[in-house]
């Protein structure tokens, strides 16, 4: 049987992927891209990591990890193997067989999708795209992005998706700090622009992921990512709404949820907190609310959950103020220690952290704030926040110097006995302490 040119490009790429001779390019070396790059290296592939952040590139070249759950040895061994190279030079992508984009997709100030990072990345890669190459987008986005934005961009170069270029969407599912699930054992959703693209996508990911789950198209894969995080946002919003109600009724909501979780079916426990953080839950749902307006639809559950969750730092602020007032201490000029500034426990990821929102609210009220976080020794450079602060140690003296200690992120490494013993007043936003005269739930 005669093989047409399109089949020839696909078969060649499939052969390279399955024989591990394919060169993999990962664009964006953050919490998603770096673990994925290391997974491909571990399986014997050559990986080129591209990022616009010179500091990240230099750290990797020195064998130093900037993500706390990735060890330095893992980085240095991958680099010394010769199979992991990193650069800010996008021209090196011309030798790459499969490109995977793991770049940020934030929201604008008006809560509209910001695809600027994706578009800038595509522009940097454009002149180096070539026949027989695959491109997979992992960044969270609204349904239709791959087909309506990326496909036309690729085809503007003269390439033909599904014939000599292979396009797919496979949303990231990273959970930093999770000891049970990691890049390789979390099932991978894959949607593609054609059957030929899907076959290439499966061949790409099945080399490093235990289970690849294919869906009918890229729009379905994009929607899958959104529904996963909308589910979490709505349920967290529900328990956050219940928190002040349970308090007024004299009921411990954490005890209620733990009791309900003993039911072996039909209930998934979600716990209240000071708000929601990370790149996914505070942002992803609003990609769908924006897209829904195109169809004349209003996503009320999503909007309501977002409103409730966004107000939680203000709820905690009021709790701090009321608790200090009960001790005849003004919030202004009070000394406040924030325990944990990461968005979740046991990681160093500060993106969209409610702890940081709370710190900004406290500064507006002219409180004196300090923080302690073993995963953030100094406050890092961030796009929208800047604090000239360093983490302080949790000692008897430092605790006694505070008017109030706020548990914002309940890292397991905190010495909770010491905190309980020497803190004058504790505001507990995570249900870690047993309530008492000096421990207030918020």
Residue 246: is its pLDDT beyond 90?
yes
Residue 384 pLDDT: 66
**Per-residue pLDDT tens over the stretch 116-164:** 999 999 999 999 999 999 999 999 999 999 999 999 999 999 999 999 9
Handedness of CA 280, 283, 286, 291 (dihedral sign): negative
Q: Is-contact 33 49, C-beta < 8 A?
A: yes
Task: Name the strands in the sheet holding 368-372, side by side, starting at the edge strand that comes first in the sequence.
Answer: 368-372, 335-339, 404-407, 426-428, 439-441
Residue 76: is its pLDDT beyond 90?
yes
User: Pick from 299, 305, 269: which is nearest to 287 by CA?
Assistant: 299
**Per-residue pLDDT tens over the stretch 419-431:** 999 999 999 999 9
- Count of CB atoms within 10 A of residue 273's CB? 25
Average pLDDT, stretch 231-255?
95
Give the pLDDT band of residue 396 (cuts 50, 70, 90).
very high
Residue 146 pLDDT: 98
Q: Is-contact 152 167, C-beta < 8 A?
A: no
Percentage of the chain lying above the pLDDT 70 cut: 98
Residue 385 pLDDT: 66
Give the pLDDT band of residue 44 (cuts 50, 70, 90).
very high
| Greater pLDDT, 144 or 2 | 144
Residue 111 pLDDT: 81
Residue 3 pLDDT: 63
Rounded mean pLDDT of the chain? Answer: 94
* pTM attached to this predicted model: 0.91
Residue 5: is its pLDDT beyond 70?
no
Residue 388 pLDDT: 84
User: Pick from 129, 124, 113, 55: which is nearest to 86 by CA?
Assistant: 55
Residue 282 pLDDT: 84
Average pLDDT, stretch 401-409?
98
280 given a catalytic annotation: yes
Residue 107 pLDDT: 85
Which among 47, 154, 215, 280 is annotated as catalytic? 280
Give the pLDDT band of residue 387 (cuts 50, 70, 90).
confident
Average pLDDT, stretch 47-64?
96
Give, for 300, the enclosing helix (H) or strand (E): helix 300-325
User: Pick from 406, 243, 253, 247: which is nearest to 309 by CA?
Assistant: 243
Give the pLDDT band of residue 280 (cuts 50, 70, 90).
confident
**Per-residue pLDDT tens over the stretch 218-234:** 999 999 999 999 999 99
Average pLDDT, stretch 164-192?
94
Distance CA 204, CA 277 (A): 31
- Domains annotated on the chain, with CATH: 5-216 (3.40.50.720), 253-441 (3.40.50.720)
Average pLDDT, stretch 362-386?
87
């Amino acid at each position: 049987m005669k093989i047409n040119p399109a089949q020839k490009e696909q078969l060649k790429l499939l052969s390279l992927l399955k024989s591990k001779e394919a060169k993999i390019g990962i664009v964006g070396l953050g919490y998603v891209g770096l673990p994925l790059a290391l997974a491909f290296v571990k399986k014997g592939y050559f990986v080129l990591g591209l990022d616009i952040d010179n500091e990240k590139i230099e750290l990797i070249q020195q064998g130093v990890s900037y993500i706390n759950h990735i060890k330095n040895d893992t980085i240095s061994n991958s680099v010394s193997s010769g199979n992991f190279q990193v650069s800010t030079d996008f021209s090196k992508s011309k030798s790459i067989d499969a490109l995977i984009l793991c770049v940020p997709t934030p929201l604008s100030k008006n809560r509209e999708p910001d695809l600027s990072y994706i578009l800038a990345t595509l522009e940097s890669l454009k002149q180096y795209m070539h026949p027989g190459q695959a491109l997979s987008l992992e960044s969270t986005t609204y349904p239709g992005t791959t087909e309506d934005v990326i496909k036309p961009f690729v085809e503007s170069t003269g390439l033909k998706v599904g014939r000599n270029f292979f396009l797919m969407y496979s949303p990231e599912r990273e959970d930093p700090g999770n000891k049970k699930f990691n890049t390789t054992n979390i099932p991978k959703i894959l949607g593609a622009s054609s059957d030929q693209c899907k076959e290439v996508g499966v061949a790409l990911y099945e080399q490093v992921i235990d289970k690849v789950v294919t869906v009918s198209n890229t729009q379905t894969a994009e929607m899958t990512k959104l529904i996963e995080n909308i589910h979490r946002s709505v349920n967290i919003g529900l328990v956050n709404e219940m928190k002040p109600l349970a308090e007024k009724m004299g009921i411990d909501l954490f005890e209620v949820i733990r009791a309900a979780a003993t039911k072996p079916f039909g209930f998934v426990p979600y716990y209240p907190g000071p708000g929601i953080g990370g790149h996914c839950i505070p942002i992803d749902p609003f990609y769908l609310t924006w897209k829904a307006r195109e169809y004349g639809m209003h996503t009320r559950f999503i909007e309501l959950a977002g409103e409730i969750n966004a107000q939680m730092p203000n709820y905690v602020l009021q709790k701090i103020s009321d608790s200090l007032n009960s001790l005849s201490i003004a919030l202004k000029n009070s000394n406040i220690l924030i325990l944990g500034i990461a968005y979740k426990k046991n990681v160093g990821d500060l993106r969209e952290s409610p702890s940081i929102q709370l710190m900004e609210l406290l500064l507006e009220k002219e409180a004196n704030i300090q923080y302690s976080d073993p995963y953030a020794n100094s406050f890092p450079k961030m796009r929208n926040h800047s604090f000239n602060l360093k983490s302080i140690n949790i000692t008897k003296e430092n605790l006694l110097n505070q008017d109030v200690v706020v548990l914002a992120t309940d890292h397991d490494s905190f010495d909770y006995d010491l905190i309980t013993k020497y803190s004058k007043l504790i505001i507990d936003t995570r249900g870690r302490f047993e309530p008492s005269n000096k421990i207030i739930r918020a």
